[in-house]
Amino acid sequence: MKTNIKHSPRYLAVKLLDRVADSGSYANITLDQTIEKEQLQPADASLLTNLVYGVIQRQLTLDFYLKPFIKKPQRLERWARQNLRVAVYQMVYLDKIPNRAIFYEATEIAKKMGNRGVAGLMTAILRQIERQGVPQLTTISEPLKRLSISASVPEWLVAKLIDQLGEKKTEAILQTINQPAAASIRVNTAIATVDEVQAELAELGLETTPSELSPVGLVRQGGFLAGTTAFAYGQYTVQDESSMLVAASMQIEPQHQVLDACAAPGGKTTHIASYLSAEAGGHVEAFDLHPHKVKLIKDNAKRLHVADVVNARAFDARKLRDVVANKSFDRVLVDAPCSGLGLMRRKPEIKYTRQPEDLLNLQKIQLEILDSVAIKVKPGGILTYSTCTIVNEENQDVIKQFLAKHAEFEPIPVHTDKALKVATTPYLRLYPDDYGTDGFFICNLKRKTR
């Protein structure tokens, strides 16, 4: 057996996992860059994706499996641990790859990235695991630790979810987040119908189903949907179904003036813009803290043919006092910077990098942004607060503190275009197990007229 090991999915997986662990970058972005750079065939791209997501999603479980077999863990280099995780992931979770292929490539990777001594150690560990089998999760006596290791979610986060949501709901969420995330798109109904886009994708072998959450959404289990001509022409954009609920909830009319305070990369901005009419005077003012991300908003607006109603600028949403006039917007959106814990399936590294103290630090920023933009809402206008996290500290606790300080606002039901099985009053909380989407929170606050 002879392969160009440096271009194999397993070698690339080990390199990519090592880079993500070292730099803290998002795996999905690094993965897309690697697939494009290496020009991988679909089968190899699929295996690389499976290995990268699988190892990150199951990292704590894999380390539990490996622990009895690594005698001196402090001497094991990071890349070598990733190599073992990739190998054990294949042995435990993938049933079509023979152990001999796994052992061979793990050894070759070790020779390439280390030396023959490390390669020998890798082989010895894997042979031992093959003979003895991995330890059983049922041997973990402490229930919280067992749930944490089984789902590969840090104990502090499991404990918090149980405290806030109860054991049954937490277990349902944890069972969901290690399943592959579906791909979803929002059709740009200004230039194409949902049926037209669905038929066009089907001709390319990309079968989709209608979204349960949005009338303009289509869903597909896996697959890369941003590489089609229809995407390039702006007939649709890639957006999670839960995220599509935000603009729909704002009840935007064609002539409305809208402020999007934290807009990049522009998915919700362009959705907001789809409800506006330049002829009627409709307009969305989009801000983002990072100048390099403003270009993403502009590019998305141009591709989706809504640039005539979008003005994107770089500015800190906490300092908008003199940038836009007070009480001048019919709708204001604060899609707040958050921990992203609702994205644990799509960005599994988040669950390991977040710490408990992050939640209150982010809460402070979220309240500062809301305080800054509240005065910009017209009397009778709506302030929409949304996050992609599922913990109270960044959701209902923020709303409670904001309302305690701003009696001029009151919560109103969250409008949805389709009837949902979750409550929409006084806010909408969507968890990954409800519809297989990202976790999301939306609250609409109406400014009183007197």
Residue 40 has what pLDDT? 85
Q: Is 117 annotated as a binding residue?
A: no
Catalytic residues: 388
Average pLDDT of the residues in 434-445: 96
User: What pLDDT shows up at residue 450?
Assistant: 74
Is 262 known to sit in a ligand binding site? yes
Are the CB atoms for 183 and 219 separated by under 8 Å? yes
266 belongs to an annotated ligand binding site: yes
The answer on pLDDT for 438 being more than 70 is yes
Q: Please enumerate in sequence order all residues whose Cβ is within 8 A of that of 32, keeping only pairs 6 or more positions apart, or say none.
A: none
**Is the Cβ–Cβ distance between 243 and 438 less than 8 Å?**
yes
Separation CA 301–CA 269 (nearest Å): 8
CA distance 359 to 341: 10
Per-residue pLDDT band for 2 (boundaries 50, 70, 90) equals very low
- What pLDDT is stored for residue 165 in this prediction? 97
The pLDDT tens digits of the residues spanning 186-237 come to: 999 989 999 999 999 999 999 999 999 999 999 998 777 888 999 999 999 9
Query: Mind listing the pLDDT tens digit for each residue in 260-281?
Result: 999 999 999 999 999 999 999 9
H/E segment holding residue 446: strand 440-447
Q: Give the contacts of 338 (CB within 8 A, at least 6 positions apart).
A: 362, 366, 387, 388, 389, 394
**208 neighbors 218 (Cβ within 8 angstroms):** yes
Rounded to 10 degrees, the C-alpha dihedral 311/317/322/327 comes to 80
Strands, E, within 267-391: which ranges? 283-288, 310-314, 329-335, 377-387
Q: Is 240 annotated as a binding residue?
A: no
Q: Over 50: is that where the pLDDT of 384 sits?
A: yes
Domains and CATH numbers, the chain: 3-134 (1.10.940.10), 137-175 (no CATH), 180-236 (3.30.70.1170), 240-445 (3.40.50.150)
Contact status, residue 255 vs residue 378, Cβ threshold 8 Å: no
Work out the number of other CB atoms within 10 angstroms of the CB of residue 196.
14
Q: How confident is the model at residue 1 (pLDDT cuts 50, 70, 90)?
A: very low
268 marked ligand binding residue: yes
Taking residues 328-349, what's their average pLDDT? Answer: 95
Is 222 marked as a binding-site residue?
no
Query: Would the annotation count 265 as a binding residue?
Result: yes
**Tens digits of residue pLDDT in 54-72:** 999 999 999 999 999 998 8
Q: CB under 8 Å, gap of 24 or more: what pairs does 165-172 form? A: 165/431, 169/431, 169/433, 171/147, 172/431, 172/433
- Identify residue 233 by its one-letter amino acid code: Y
Strand partners, 441: 387, 429
Q: Please tell me the predicted confidence (pLDDT) of residue 3.
A: 56
Does residue 432 have a known ligand-binding role? no
CA distances from 234 to 40, 227, 237, 282, 301 (A): 26, 12, 7, 20, 9
Q: DSSP E strands: which ranges in 110-252?
A: 183-187, 209-210, 217-220, 236-238
Residue 96: what pLDDT?
85
Q: Tell me the CA end-to-end span of the chain in Å, nearest whole number.
A: 78
Q: What is the DSSP string of 376-437?
A: TEEEEEEEEEEES---GGGTHHHHHHHHHH-TTEEEE----SS--SS--SS-EEE-HHHHSS
pLDDT-based confidence at residue 27 (cuts at 50, 70, 90) = confident
Instruction: Return the axis-axis angle of helices 9-23 and 42-57, rounded to nearest 10°.
Output: 40
Q: What is the DSSP letter of 448?
A: P
Residues 257 and 328 sit within 8 Å (Cβ to Cβ): yes
Which residues, at least 6 apart from 405, have a Cβ–Cβ distance to it below 8 Å?
371
User: Does position 25 have pLDDT exceeding 80, yes or no?
Assistant: no
Mean pLDDT for the stretch of residues 133-161: 97
Answer whether 186's CB lies under 8 Å from 244's CB. yes
Residue 211 DSSP SS3: coil
Task: Identify which has the larger pLDDT, 242 or 26.
Answer: 242
Amino acid at 370: L
H/E run at residue 441: strand 440-447
